[in-house]
Amino acid sequence: MRQRMSDMVYEVQDLICQSLLALDGVEYREDTWTREEGGGGRSRVFSGGKVFEKAGVNVSVVHGTLSPQAAQSMGGGHELQGEDLDFFATGVSLVLHPKNPMAPTVHANYRYFERGEGKKPGSWWFGGGADLTPSYLFEEDAIHFHQVHKDVCDRHEVADYAAFKQWCDDYFFIKHRGERRGLGGLFFDDINGASKDDCFAFVKDCAHSFLESYLPIIERRKDLPFTSEQKEWQQVRRGRYVEFNLVYDRGTTFGLTTNGRIESILMSLPLTARWEYCHSPEPGSDEFALVELLKAPKNWL
């Protein structure tokens, strides 16, 4: 499974990067890196194009020994002790930040983790998901994004769309703001309730469905007209994105506490963002409507 998952995430990285290259017309920067404790990865970042201000697709295949702090940062109720602190992890992670404020940011991550030799009950699991973070609400985009992921879940007995959608809304919650980061999607962790083959098939299907979930949206929104005020609002929303990733995101914490590659870990952050003192949108505005929805998520399907 270690090899199958590693091969899959590299394949998905290639497929997604080929599509982004065709869409934006600029070549990505590629960095192949190694980790002193074991393993490495491949990072690809796009910038300077017409569509994306910053976009990154990363793959990592790492192994080593977790510190107690790193083990605790994983969450999910894992109690790692003794030899169980030895680990293997691989995954693909992407974040795309478009230039146009009418086009939503998107994030996806799919991963596999083993502790010890991965043979004991509970010593292996899959995780991941995808979520949409717009600055302006287009309901058809949210419906499309959620429908693609529900269709994936419906193809696999191990998956539960309603539960994973709720998990996503709960996880991407900025507690100090009282609002979600975006319009949700899927989030799941500790997926090991079926065979490794069945769990892998679900995660592979999710990863290969990313382009179907996002490309129609970015094609519809990337060339829409916008004002300087709308661009400023996008920068404010990106500030919220930064706050979640640096304060609450478990993946960021795990990477930083396992001596991960800093540039790859922080690739998810936007190139630009904005924080205005006591900023609040005008009641009745499109911006106000979005924030109200982030405070009270809805079911899109």
**Domain residue ranges of the chain, discontinuous segments joined by +:** 2-295
Q: Which pLDDT band holds residue 77 (cuts at 50, 70, 90)?
A: very low
Q: What is the mean pLDDT of residues 184-196?
A: 93
- Domain 2-295 CATH superfamily: Coproporphyrinogen III oxidase, aerobic (3.40.1500.10)
Query: Which range is least confidently modeled, 40-44, 115-119, 183-187, 211-215?
Result: 115-119
pLDDT digits (tens, 9 = 90+) for 91-138: 999 999 999 999 999 999 999 999 877 777 778 999 999 999 999 999
Q: What is the pLDDT of residue 87?
A: 86
pTM for this entry: 0.92
Q: What is the mean pLDDT of residues 75-81?
A: 48
Q: How far apart, in whole angstroms, are the C-alpha atoms of residue 98 and residue 96?
A: 6
Q: How far apart, in whole angstroms, are the C-alpha atoms of residue 115 and residue 120?
A: 9
Residue 139 has pLDDT above 70, yes or no: yes
Among the options 78, 97, 107, 146, which is catalytic?
Answer: 107
Q: How far apart, in whole angstroms, are the C-alpha atoms of residue 146 and residue 300?
A: 7
> Active-site residue 107, yes or no?
yes
Exposed, middle or buried by CB within 10 Å (0-12, 13-18, 19+), for 256?
middle
Structure tokens at 84: 């169980």
Q: What is the mean pLDDT of residues 221-232?
A: 98
Q: What is the mean pLDDT of residues 20-37?
A: 92
Strands 184-191 and 29-34: unpaired
Q: What are phi and psi of 281, to 5 degrees?
A: -75, 160
pLDDT digits (tens, 9 = 90+) for 45-72: 999 899 999 999 999 999 988 776 666 6
- Residue in this structure with the two tokens 């929104």, named with its chain if needed: 221
Q: What is the pLDDT of residue 119?
A: 74
Q: What is the pLDDT of residue 285?
A: 97
Q: What is the pLDDT of residue 141?
A: 98
Q: What is the mean pLDDT of residues 227-253?
A: 94
Structure tokens at 173: 């919650």
Q: What is the pLDDT of residue 71?
A: 64
pLDDT > 70: what percent of the chain?
94
Long-range pairs for 41-46 at CB < 8 Å and ≥24 separation?
41/261, 41/264, 42/10, 42/13, 43/261, 43/263, 43/264, 43/267, 44/13, 44/17, 45/267, 46/20, 46/21
Structural contact between residues 92 and 110, judged by C-beta atoms closer than 8 angstroms = yes
Mean pLDDT score of the chain, rounded to an integer?
A: 92
Residue 184 has pLDDT above 70, yes or no: yes
pLDDT > 90: what percent of the chain?
78
Q: What is the pLDDT of residue 228?
A: 97
